[in-house]
Structure 1
Amino acid sequence: MQAAQERLADMRVVLVCALLSLLSLSHACPKECNCNSNTKVVDCRGRGLYDIPRRLHPDTQELYLQDNRIRGLGSMAFREIPLVRILDLSNNSITSVSPTALLGLRTLQRLSLAYNSLRELDKRLLGPIRSLSHLDLSHNSLWGLPGAIGDSLRNLSHLGLAHNRLTRLDRSLLEALTHLDSLTLRSNPWRCDCQLIGLKLWLETYLFKGGVVDEVLCSQPEDMKDKDLQKVPYQLFHSCMATSYHYLFANIHHLENERLLRGHTHGNHAHPSSHAIHVPMAMGEGFGGGGGGGGCLPVCEPKQRHRPVNLRHAIATVIITGVVCGIVFLMMLAAAVYGCAYAAIMAKYQRELKKNEESAAAQGADHAKADEKESLENAIA
């Protein structure tokens, strides 16, 4: 009896060990990768992978997948590693990324999609991630970035956009990146027209505040080819209409006040950079030499174009006149309806009155004939 109990106990121990072994194998390191359980780093670089490896340990904090042959990222592609902080997917063949590919990665800090074949990014891709500080999208085929993506990048400190197909970049997106320290924009076919002056003005303010950016060389139009946007004076943008001088002076005043504020804060130790001093000078260059297009600014865009005061007054006058005319029209309509109703009631009343009079007259004639007949009969008798 005791021997049977001992054998049963041994079987239980073997069963428990087998279960533990199966559990450990379920999250074992993929055979294509090298795993460090101490640092929680999984290295799968250069293994010829076509897809994200499975059975990754849920405690993984760094995953390196560069130099493989991955072509796309499906929905919740990294659901097994919700705690990952660094994700490197550079130098693959990625052409498509599902809008929910990064869903669940709320602690992701560094993401690299460089050296791939991306043409666009969905605005929902980075929506759930609020901790991202480093994003590298360089060496792709991006034509642009969705403006709404800026809301997901408010904590970003580095953004890499070099070597893409960008011709312009929305200023409102850049203004949302309030913690941005470095930005790469080189080797893009920038079109230096009125639509890009918003970027130029933002760059000057950004550099004045201490940001770091590489060159922005114009590709179009032909007369500005290979010119650095940061060094192009505003007067060369002849296609812009000089309708925003007040906005120009407002920006100069803002930058000058900020410079004075910095000097007041740091005392005699403050020494603004040479570029910071160049900002108001560069912005004022457009007023020299009689250049008619020198006041061109981001507000050259139709949606930001300033309306003259007399135009605003004219629009207000038209609106007020329209409201007054509408009220008068409604009053006249009400009076017409009331008059028609009153006339109809009076006509009906007159018809009934005339009918009653005719009826009374007929009854009176009948009585008169009856009386005359009676008096004649009495006379004969």
Structure 2
Amino acid sequence: MKVGYEFSKESCEDPVMKGELLLLSSVMFLLYVVSGCPERCHCHSFSKSVDCSQQGLVEIPSDLPPQTLTLHLQDNEIHQLPAFAFRSVPQLITLNLSNNSLSTLDPGAFHGLQHLKVLNLTQNSLHSLENRLFHSLPQLRELDLSSNNISHLPTSLDKPWENLTVFAVQQNQLQQLDRTLLESMPSVRLLFLKNNLWKCNCHLLGLKLWMEKFIYKGGVTDGITCASPDTWRGKDLLKIPHELYQPCPSPPDQVPSPAPQPGSARGAAPSLPEDRSALAECELKAKPRPANLRYAIATFIVTAVVCGIVGLMMLVATIYGCAYAAVTAQGHGGPLAPTNQPGKTAGKELLDSPAA
């Protein structure tokens, strides 16, 4: 009877456990339905991730689960991001928008994403970025902008860059990069800059100095390869000597007005080029390496000795000329008398004549 009692007890517990499991599954299903999952996406409740990649989407789904932490939207056909495009997923930590057709990003596109740490925007059609675009991402750690058409980056993006550790802009159209932008990334450790149109002139000297300090502190970078001018094409920016960089010219507003040419109308204003930025353009030209200090000192000493010898020879020649003149005068019986004083000559003849 005891055994039968135990058997009947187990047989009674199994349906209860099954019922609890069924109830739990039902609750999870209801939560899944309430939170919603886009029709062409795959939602994973345990990892709180949503995969909407390769679905031909042209806009951000509006019915994303609010507890989503990771959102995959790569390999779609999204062209633009409006303001508050991700308002339905305020807890988002990782956002992948790679390989879309993004060309326009509203300055408020990422508003509300206070917890976002990883943002992937590679392989799109972005041309530039506004400095307000990332102001609402204070926790951003990794930003990948590679393989776009970006030709200009803002000078600074202020506090949102303080936590950034990875910054990638390789394979774009960048010619210059202000070191002020990099100085606003005190925590950056990985920097990817290759395959751009870097113009290695005086404007990149500040970037070169910053990168040298960055590497010295343990930072990792793939470097900068010059695309122009022809003198440095294909060269590593970090291997170009500092001495070959000349100071950049003054801004156009500080360039002095040229002097008027002779014959020009009085008071006529000097003509200025239409493109004022051309005045600030400076091409890096190779110049001879500075002479060795010892060689310069030796040259100075040799020059001084030669000049001294020449001066001494001139002095000797002068003394010799004076001595020769004195000897010649003595050979004629007395000092040379000037011939242009007839009065004194006549008086001497009177004294030398015999008395009457």
Deviation of 1:221 after TM superposition, in Å, equals 1.1
Correspondent of 2:55 among 43, 47, 56? 47
Give the distance between the partners of 1:290 and 1:67, measured in 2 at CA.
58
- Match among 76, 82, 93 for residue 90 of structure 2: 82
TM-aligned CA deviation for residue 144 of structure 1: 1.6
Residue correspondence of structure 1 range 4-23 to structure 2 within 5 A: none
Are the equivalent residues in 2 in contact too, given 1:87–1:112 (CA < 8 A)? yes
User: Residues of 2 paired with 1:220 and 1:70: CA distance?
Assistant: 35
**1:130 maps to which of 119, 131, 138:** 138
User: How many Å separate the matches in 1 of 2:167 and 2:227?
Assistant: 22
1:379 is aligned to none
> RMSD over aligned Cα, in angstroms?
2.6
Counterpart of 1:139 in structure 2 is 147
Determine if contact 2:94/2:117 at 8 Å carries over to the other structure.
yes
Partner in structure 1 of residue 247 of structure 2: 240
Amino acid of the residue matched to residue 289 of structure 1?
P
Q: In the alignment, which of 109, 112, 123 is matched to residue 104 of structure 1?
A: 112
Instruction: Check the 8 A contact 1:235/1:287 in 2, yes or no.
Output: no
Amino acid at match of 1:180: V
**2: CA distance between counterparts of 1:223 and 1:233?**
13
User: What amino acid is aligned across from residue 172 of structure 2 in structure 1?
Assistant: N
Name the structure 2 match of 1:181: 189
Does the 8 Å contact 1:162/1:188 carry over to 2?
A: yes
| Other-structure match for 1:289 | 290
Shift, 1:74, TM fit: 0.5
**Offset of residue 150 of structure 1:** 4.2
The letter for the 2-side match of 1:100 is: G
1:199 aligns to what?
A: 207
**Alpha-carbon distance in structure 2 between the residues aligned to 1:211 and 1:287:** 33
1:109, CA displacement in angstroms? 0.2
Give the deviation of 1:25 after TM superposition: 3.6
CA distance in 1, matches of 2:203, 2:125: 26
Secondary structure of 1:35's counterpart equals strand
Letter in 2 for 1:32: R
CA distance in 2 between counterparts of 1:43 and 1:216 reads 36
Task: Say which SS state the counterpart of residue 191 (structure 2) adopts.
Answer: strand
Q: For the residues of structure 2 that align with 1:241 and 1:82, how far apart are their CA atoms? A: 46
Task: Tell me what 1:71 maps to.
Answer: 79
Residue 215 of structure 1 deviates from its aligned partner by 2.4
- Is this contact kept in 1: 2:37–2:43, CA < 8 A? yes
Q: Distance in 2 between matches of 1:160 and 1:24?
A: 36
CA distance in 2, matches of 1:64, 1:228: 36
Q: TM-score, normalised by structure 2?
A: 0.61
* TM-score when normalising by structure 1: 0.57
Q: Matches of 2:235 and 2:46 in 1, distance apart?
A: 51
**1:289 shift after superposition:** 2.9
Q: Please give the per-residue CA displacement for 1:92-144, whole angstroms capped at 9, x wherever unaligned.
A: 00000000010000000000111000011111111021100000000111112
Q: Secondary structure at the match of 1:57?
A: coil
SS in 2 for 1:38: coil
Match in the other structure for 2:312: none
Distance between the aligned counterparts of 2:46 and 2:220, measured in 1? 36
Summarize the Cα distance change of 1:209–1:64 in structure 2 as closer, same or farther, 3 Å threshold.
same
Distance 1:165 1:90 in 2: 18
Residue 290 of structure 1: how far off its partner (Å): 3.2
Mapping 1:225-304, distance limit 5 Å: 225-237=233-245, 239-240=246-247, 289-290=290-291
- In the alignment, structure 2 segments of 5+ residues that lack a partner are 1-27, 250-286, 293-356
Q: Distance in 2 between matches of 1:82 and 1:148?
A: 26
Aligned partner letter, 1:126: F
Q: Is the 8 A contact 1:26 1:55 kept in 2?
A: no
Residues 150 and 174 of structure 1 are in contact (CA less than 8 Å); yes or no, is this contact kept in structure 2?
no
Matched to 2:213, the amino acid is T
CA contact (8 A) 2:202 2:248 kept: no
Match of 1:116 among 113, 124, 133: 124
Which 5+ residue runs of structure 1 have no aligned equivalent? 1-19, 243-285, 292-381
Q: Secondary structure at the match of 1:191?
A: coil
- Cα shift at 1:148: 2.8
Work out whether residues 79 and 102 of structure 2, in 8 Å CA contact, stay in contact via their aligned partners in 1. Answer: yes
CA distance in 2, matches of 1:83, 1:117: 27
What SS does structure 2 have at the residue aligned with 1:42? strand
What aligned pairs does 1:341-380 form with structure 2 within 5 A after superposition? none
Deviation at 1:21, TM superposition (A): 9.0
Q: For 1:147 and 1:130, locate their aligned partners in 2 and report how far apart those are by CA, in whole Å.
A: 18
Once the 2 structures are TM-superposed, how far is the Cα of residue 232 of structure 1 from its aligned partner? 1.0
Match of 1:330 in 2: none
* Cα drift, residue 173 of structure 1: 1.1
